[in-house]
A and B are shown apart, each in its own frame.
Chain A
């Protein structure tokens, strides 16, 4: 029973355009939501996060949006660059006192020249 779902296994976007990666979750007790980026043969690296008390968090080209009523979050990358080609994992945790992170299956993003 997947608690964090990334329904798009892959996504192709033209360089310079916006990349939008989507994620749904089922557990309303999740308090923290995180995005990780992974290159082949490397470990995942932390990208950006959002607390359940916010609906938007921005860091440079990366913005995460949270819609709690829909149990949906999305990661926007603007503008997309070739180095953004990677697998992106959506993840969630119970927050303070519960540091275990549950990951989605990932979305492979291809940035096309």
Chain B
């Protein structure tokens, strides 16, 4: 199925552990994004990548790192997880035609840090 695939779907971490959230798209999109969704806070941009080889900080980048491995894949890494990073994480991608098509989102990773 064409779209954005995120793995894993669920994860529980202990404080201080590290992990990488994986995201891949098969739509040949140039731009990719990581958002987090918290209750009452909407979707907030963590990092984005406008093209392969480039990454930039979004609104809430602290505690995260990203890698744009190639055009298809954009990973999000938590080096030392904290309870404040408990959230649902969404990866998205976009190509030309933002107005016509918007972003395509993955189904999310629900992360709990205890």
Q: State the A residues within 8 Å of B (CB).
A: 6, 9, 32, 34, 36, 41-46, 49, 51, 89, 93, 95, 99-106
Contact of A43 among B41, B94, B98, B108 (CB under 8 A): B108
Partner of B103 from the list A6, A41, A46, A104 (CB cut-off 8 Å) is A46
Query: Is B41 touching A105 in the complex (CB atoms < 8 A)?
Result: yes
B40: chain A residues at CB < 8 Å are: 9, 105
* Stretch of B12-20, B42-50, B64-72 lying at the A interface: B42-50
Cβ B101 vs Cβ A89 within 8 A: no
Could you tell me which residues of chain B, from 34 to 59, have a CB within 8 Å of some CB in chain A?
35, 40-45, 48, 50, 58
**Per-residue CB proximity of B95-114 to A under 8 Å, as 1/0?**
00011111111111000000
Interface of A is mostly: strand
- Bound-complex Cα distance A87 to B44 (A): 16
Q: Identify the closest chain A residue to B59 (Cβ).
A: A102
Which B residues are within 8 Å of any A CB, using their own CB? 4, 31, 33, 35, 40-45, 48, 50, 58, 90, 92, 94, 98-108
Please report the number of residue pairs spanning A and B whose Cβ atoms sit closer than 8 angstroms.
Answer: 59
CB distance from A68 to the nearest CB of B (A): 16
B74 to chain A, nearest CB (A): 14
Known: A44-B43, A99-B31. A93 touches B98 (CB 8 A): yes
A34-B31 in contact (CB<8A)? no
**Are the C-beta atoms of A43 and B4 separated by less than 8 Å?**
yes
Which residues in B have their C-beta under 8 angstroms from that of A43?
Answer: 4, 90, 92, 105-108
Q: Tell me whether B98 and A44 are in contact (CB under 8 A).
A: no
Report B-chain residues with C-beta under 8 Å of the C-beta of A44.
Answer: 43, 90, 103, 105
Let me know if A51 and B94 touch, CB within 8 A. Answer: no
- Check A42–B107 contact: CB distance below 8 A: yes
Complex contact B108–A99 (CB within 8 A): no
A selection of 14 A-B contacts at a CB cut-off of 8 Å is A6-B42, A32-B99, A41-B107, A42-B107, A44-B90, A44-B103, A44-B105, A46-B103, A46-B104, A99-B50, A101-B33, A101-B98, A104-B42, A105-B41
Name the B residues within 8 Å of A34 (CB-CB).
99, 102
